[in-house]
Amino acid sequence: MFRGSIVALVTPFDARGRLDEKALGELVEWHLAEGTAGIVPCGTTGESATLTHTEHERVVERVVEAAAGRVPVIAGSGSNATDEAVELTRHAKKAGAAAALLITPYYNKPTQEGLYRHFAALARAVDLPQVLYNVPGRTAVNLLPETVERLCEFENIVAIKEATGSVQVTGEIVRRCGDRMTVLSGDDFANLGLLAMGATGAISVTANVAPADMAALFAAWDRGDVAEARRLHYRLLPLHSAMFLEGNPIPVKAALGLMGRIGPTLRLPLTDLAEAHLDTLTAALADYGLLKARRA
């Protein structure tokens, strides 16, 4: 159902820490011009954990408005409380999102049966295409391929963002569910390998700063130009590393600030990128051609 470079969009704040709707709309327009195939607001990169419910809903609404049906908007609406996830997903549908991105419940560490029942409840409660999101490095729980296969019984569970970075896990999901479920990479460094295993695209952090090249990589793969896809993958690798000099989204917001796309404001407990890392990030952006000159 989903293909290509789908950006895990940052949420811009002004200098006082308030939602910057103007900058948000401008980011969406830039991504559309650069070839981004889909937009995910209110994911990890969008600082969903520090948004109020009102802000969360407004971010989804603003991105849907700005996209205006030109690309699918996959609204982050997951939670570690099933009822809360249902309400956020209902709002995503009401706002006009094409689908919802549903992270595995974090912190409370449910069993595989609990994970199954959580996602089953969401599928039954909201008639909207739903994308599972497995990122055990952040949630402390791993959605196993056999549980994903059980969830294929629900027609509106259409995809999974697989962020273990594991070729083996991705291959197992494709083997079990490939005819019923789209698989998307959730780790930019693994994009090319996961495409080889049957993924069709990625929900990408690096697409925030290099959207055109990210889009070009997947377009090259789709037309069978593996050499060009590989060239772009290796060209992008230093940026992938730079985006994780510290916890996401600290580096990517710093990068967009250096590029003049947004103010780099974060909300506590996230803090500004450390000075030593800022020098490394600036060098990576400049080497890629995203800055006019390296920071002095």
Q: What is the pLDDT of residues 102-125, one digit of tens each?
A: 999 999 999 999 999 999 999 999
Q: Residue 272, Cβ neighbours under 10 Å: how many?
A: 15
- Whether pLDDT at 179 is above 80: yes
Q: What is the pLDDT of residues 184-229, one digit of tens each?
A: 999 999 999 999 999 999 999 999 999 999 999 999 999 999 999 9
pLDDT of residue 178: 85
Q: What is the pLDDT of residues 228-285, one digit of tens each?
A: 999 999 999 999 999 999 999 999 999 999 999 999 899 999 999 999 999 999 999 9
- Whether pLDDT at 67 is above 70: yes
- Whether pLDDT at 294 is above 50: no
Mean pLDDT of 48-58: 96
pLDDT of residue 1: 76
Q: What is the pLDDT of residues 8-44, one digit of tens each?
A: 999 999 999 999 999 999 999 999 999 999 999 999 9
- Whether pLDDT at 174 is above 70: yes
Residue-averaged pLDDT of the chain: 96
Residue 19 is classified by DSSP as B
In angstroms, the Cα distances linking 223 to 47, 212, 226, 234 are 34, 16, 8, 19
Distance CA 10, CA 173 (A): 28
CA angle 251, 95, 122 (to 5 degrees): 85
CA angle 237, 243, 248 (to 5 degrees): 140
In angstroms, the Cα distances linking 206 to 87, 109, 111, 112, 285 are 30, 29, 32, 31, 11
Distance CA 162, CA 243 (A): 18
Domains and CATH numbers, the chain: 4-223 (3.20.20.70)
Contacting residues for 212 by C-beta, under 8 A, at least 6 apart: 34, 35
pLDDT of residue 210: 98
The alpha carbon dihedral of 106, 163, 259, 275 has a sign of positive
260: region left, alpha or beta (phi > 0 left; psi from -120 to 50 alpha): left
Residues annotated as catalytic are: 133, 161
Distance CA 18, CA 55 (A): 9
CA 57 centroid distance within chain: 17
- Which residues on adjacent β-strands are paired with residue 134? 162
- Residue of 89, 79, 180, 186 lying closest to 134 (CA atoms): 186
- Whether pLDDT at 296 is above 50: no
- Residue of 40, 43, 48 lying closest to 5 (CA atoms): 40
Distance CA 126, CA 83 (A): 12
Q: Residue 290, Cβ neighbours under 10 Å: how many?
A: 16
pLDDT class of 101 with cuts at 50, 70, 90: very high
Both structure tokens of 216: 């070009």
pLDDT of residue 295: 40
- Whether pLDDT at 292 is above 90: no
Task: Render 258-289 in DSSP notation, one character per residue.
Answer: HTTSS-----TT--PPPHHHHHHHHHHHHHHT
Distance CA 91, CA 96 (A): 9
pLDDT of residue 165: 85
